[in-house]
Chains A and B, each alone.
Chain A
Amino acid sequence: MIDSKAGRGTSRRELLGLGLGAGAASLLGGLGGAYAQARPLVPPQKPRGQVIAGISQEPTVFNPLMPGSEVDQGVWWQLFNPLWSIDPQGRLVADLASEVPSVENGGLSADGLVWKIKLRRDVKWHDGTPFTAEDVKYTLDLINTPGFRVRNRVGHSLVREITVVAPDEIHWRMESAYSPYLSILALTFIVPRHILEKAQDPNTAPFNSAPVGTGAFRWGERVAGDHLLLQANPAHHGEGPYLERVVFKYIPDLTMLYTQFRTGQIDYLGLSGISAHFVKEAQGLRGRKLSLSPTAFIEHIALNLEFAPFADKAVREALYLGMNKQARIEALYYGLPVPTESFLPQQSWAYDPSLPAQRHDPAKANALLDAAGWARGSDGIRQKNGVRLEFANSTTVGNPGREQSQQLLMQDWRTLGVAMRINNMPGAVIWGEFWQKSKFESVMVGSNFMLGNDPDVTPRFSSKAIPAKAGSGLNTYQYQNPEIDRLLAEGASQFDQAQRKATYGKIQKIIRDDLVLLPIYQTVMAEGIKDGLQGFAANINCSSNCWNMRSWFWAS
């Protein structure tokens, strides 16, 4: 947390009054963070005032089961509730369920196959209809309905024999034990049966453009291309809401977004955050604060391991040794991101901090390539058995940070006798078949590898998840390792967190050692908050830091 009011001290009395926000700040640790509170926290008795949240993508999908972006998910958090959610510390917290199922409380059978969920009795939909177990059953059934345009069925497709035992209790059986399902359900919002079952086709139901949920805010109005307004739901079952209205204001241009935050038209600037080159200026703005919030996105160089030069591990090691990671972080991103060696964010319970730290060592990289038989040609570029050490690197056009980063990488690797070409494309092109079907040689990309807060990376590294080889997943690296396959299967069927941590620690070590990808840094987002706005708490486990707007309020 950086306070824009540099030099301002905090009195003992103020410190005593910090409460929840500051508590969250200390728990988040690292750069992280919750927006430290400078005034005593006294939420109003009745919802009061509004918050305008500036976002660079327009929310367009309001059925929370359909394919949507992170900004859509930011809206879903206000309108809907999952059975349980994940707090900033990574703990599962009951929401529509009265308790999170576990082996200890009898919610999960010892083999992880039988799930028994108890629900709250005091929850109502926005139209006043009581929420029941039938809604949960309907939601799970709808997800698995063949014609429904659901986002994905990971985990849900394993659910069998759903039984509504009582209005406040539901049971089901899993086809096989799958522990990440707890985390997946924490990001699965429950939809109302009594409304959607009346629709001829849930894909085109009026509900999708005027949703009814159980969340802290009700649907207000949407002005397409401009903003979305949500009204407080006074009958909300949980904490809050303390605001009368929440407005998601869509401003696609990042400079304009920041300008409007600067001129006071926007109270909170999140999702895309403040561009790195504006951060220093933003820290000096009067009446504004910044939260440097770590995200789950890991910036890395994705290598296509079927591309001949990258199949040689020595080449991957040399490229990693030759990469001046820290210079890039300092020069291009003003030191904001955190260098990393893992595909998991450092806030994950499964993160392994013991992975070997990368050193920038061009001499060692050159020696490695010499030893591996990659000899320099007359033009200084290395080759081996007629294969030149030359490849293309691609990323999205119009991302100045990445484009400058590519220039630095070209220079870094040129000194090793490696020729890197830049082949950038628009997002809609690069993330299409080029990425999905592994048609690239190397790509500079930021990815969130986790399922919610679960470290299961089967879709990323399993040999059965290679789309270019008819697999089901996003292993676009085309990585194949029987040991990893075994560990992934083991991790997904374990329910003890300590055991799982050990399993995913092994996976991180192997991926780091094999250099399936060249990790660069964990992204840190600079979010702007107007002075006086309380309750903001960055949560790396949710897809949006708007996850708890129900707790936001203006200091009186």
Chain B
Amino acid sequence: MIPFLLRRLWQSLILLTIVSMIGFAILYLAPGGPMSQFAQSAQMSQEDLDRIARQLGLDRPLPVQYWDWLLRMLSGDWGRSFRDNSPVWSVIGSHLRATFELMAVSTLIAIALGCWIGILGAIRRYSIFDMVATVGAMVALSIPTFWFGLIAIYLFSVQLGWLPAGNRQTIGDGSFLDVAHHLIAPALVLALVETAIWARFMRSAMLDVIGQDYIRTARAKGLPEQAVLRGHAMRNALLPLITLAGLQFPTLLGGALVTETVFTWPGMGRLFLDSVEYRDYPVVMGILMFSAVMVLLGSLLADMLYAVADPRIRMG
């Protein structure tokens, strides 16, 4: 296990360096810059714009800026946001909780609902439930997340008035119930696509497993059907889904970006969009590196869990 971890760590470092170089180059070579937001102010002269750009270090050659950023990053200093002058880590940190809250709840909903639909669909293959679930999953996968979000807002907020039309909490409240009330719509919308993916994977994995010899043997031994499904089929069918869980992380982050925008959720997705729009390079790079680390960690964790769950898999 330890040689495996060390190898993965080394590979991850190389990958992160490549990601940072590409990210930095794309960001800085893209036309436009952070000074553009002030360019139309009558009070701003070109001298002022040049002076501020110089103070932000934007007048230096690209490799120098990258090297400076890398050294500071390695020493734990992620720089300061061009927009609000706060340290990047604190800007990201202030948005993390909202995103993780949304992702955790929607992931739990997606796993619970998706697995249940998938298993039931496999057991009752070609039944009405299975067909409805299949068509439902296809619809959920085909329609963009923002559309579901807008429909949910129109229906439950504007027309029925049951749910708030966005935000994470009522300002001045923020109690558990209030946050939960605000969480319902975005978490369900974000969970919708995830549920469809989990249901399709679970159905397929379950169908693979229940056709295996050991399931026939268990049934032949006279085990009750429930025990066969729970004790033998489900446990083995869940194995490939561990990998799915790891690989779904970036997809979930992407989905959160759209959901956060539609529901005005103050998370990382919106921060990323805002920062790109304002060309807030330090924050964009910070989010990029943070996401890359999270994706690598998710993948590593999936590999390790896979080995723990299936003793036949060895690492080293």
A contact residues vs B (CB 8 Å cutoff):
50, 52, 58, 60-62, 66-67, 69, 147, 149, 151-154, 184, 203-204, 208-209, 223-227, 229, 245, 247, 249-253, 256, 259-260, 262-263, 265, 425-432, 434-436, 445, 447-451, 457, 459-460, 465, 467, 471-474
**Would you call B48 and A151 a contact (CB within 8 A)?**
yes
Chain B 160-185 interface residues, beta-carbon cutoff 8 Å to A: 161, 164-168, 171-172
Contact A429 B31 (CB under 8 A): yes
**B172 adjacent to A245 (CB under 8 Å):** yes
User: What residues of A have a CB within 8 angstroms of the CB of B38 in the complex?
Assistant: 67, 151
B251 at the interface (CB under 8 A from A): no
10 contacts between A and B (CB under 8 A): A66-B85, A67-B44, A151-B48, A224-B91, A226-B266, A265-B167, A428-B278, A429-B30, A447-B40, A447-B42
Which residue from A69, A227, A256, A450 sits with its C-beta under 8 Å from B37? A69
List, in ascending order, chain A residues with CB within 8 A of B95's CB.
Answer: 224-225
- A225-B267, A428-B279 given; name 18 further pairs at CB < 8 Å: A149-B52, A151-B43, A153-B48, A208-B85, A225-B271, A226-B98, A226-B264, A247-B172, A253-B264, A263-B161, A265-B167, A428-B34, A430-B32, A431-B37, A436-B46, A471-B46, A474-B42, A474-B45
* Residues in B whose Cβ lies below 8 Å from that of A147: 55
Contact A459 B42, beta carbon cutoff 8 Å: yes
Find the A residue at minimum CB distance from B269.
A225
Across-interface contacts of A460 in B (CB, < 8 A): 42
Q: Is B315 an interface position by the 8 A CB rule?
A: no
B127 to chain A, nearest CB (A): 40
Known: A69-B37, A225-B271, A428-B32. A473 touches B45 (CB 8 A): yes
Given A256-B166, A426-B32: A451 and B270 interface contact (C-beta under 8 Å) = no
Among candidates A67, A430, A472, residue contacting B46 with C-beta atoms closer than 8 Å? A472
User: Which residues from chain B contact A151 at a C-beta distance below 8 Å?
Assistant: 38, 43-44, 48
CB-based contact A226/B42 at 8 Å: no
Partner of A473, one of B34, B37, B46, B83: B46
Residues in A with CB closer than 8 Å to B41 are: 152, 448
State whether A445 and B40 are in contact (beta carbons under 8 Å apart), knowing that A227-B171, A262-B158 are contacts in the complex: yes
* Bound-complex Cα distance A62 to B84 (A): 8
In contact, A152 and B48 (Cβ under 8 angstroms): yes
Task: Give CA–CA (A249, B264) in the complex, Å.
Answer: 10
Residues of B within 8 A of A (CB): 30-49, 52, 55, 80-81, 83-86, 91, 94-95, 98, 153, 157-158, 161, 164-168, 171-172, 261-262, 264, 266-267, 270-271, 273-274, 277-279
Q: Is the CB of A154 within 8 A of B43?
A: yes
A158 to chain B, nearest CB (A): 14
Contacts of A247 in B (CB 8 A): 171-172
CB distance from B163 to the nearest CB of A (A): 10
Which residues of B are found within 8 Å of A249, using beta-carbon distances? 167, 171
Closest Cβ–Cβ distance, residue B278 to chain A (whole Å) = 7
List the B residue with the shortest CB-CB distance to A149.
Answer: B55
CB <8 Å contact, B36 and A209 = no
In contact, A256 and B83 (Cβ under 8 angstroms): no
Q: Beyond A204-B85, A251-B264, A256-B165, is A427–B43 a contact (Cβ under 8 Å)?
A: no
Chain B's nearest CB lies how many Å from the CB of A65?
Answer: 12
Residues of B within 8 A of A203 (CB): 55, 85
Once bound together, how far apart are the Cα atoms of A283 and B68, in whole Å? 54
**Smallest beta-carbon distance B95→chain A, Å:** 5
Closest A residue to B278 by CB, please name it. A428
- Docked Cα-Cα span, A154 to B33, in Å, equals 23
A223 and B264 CA atoms in complex are apart in Å by 13
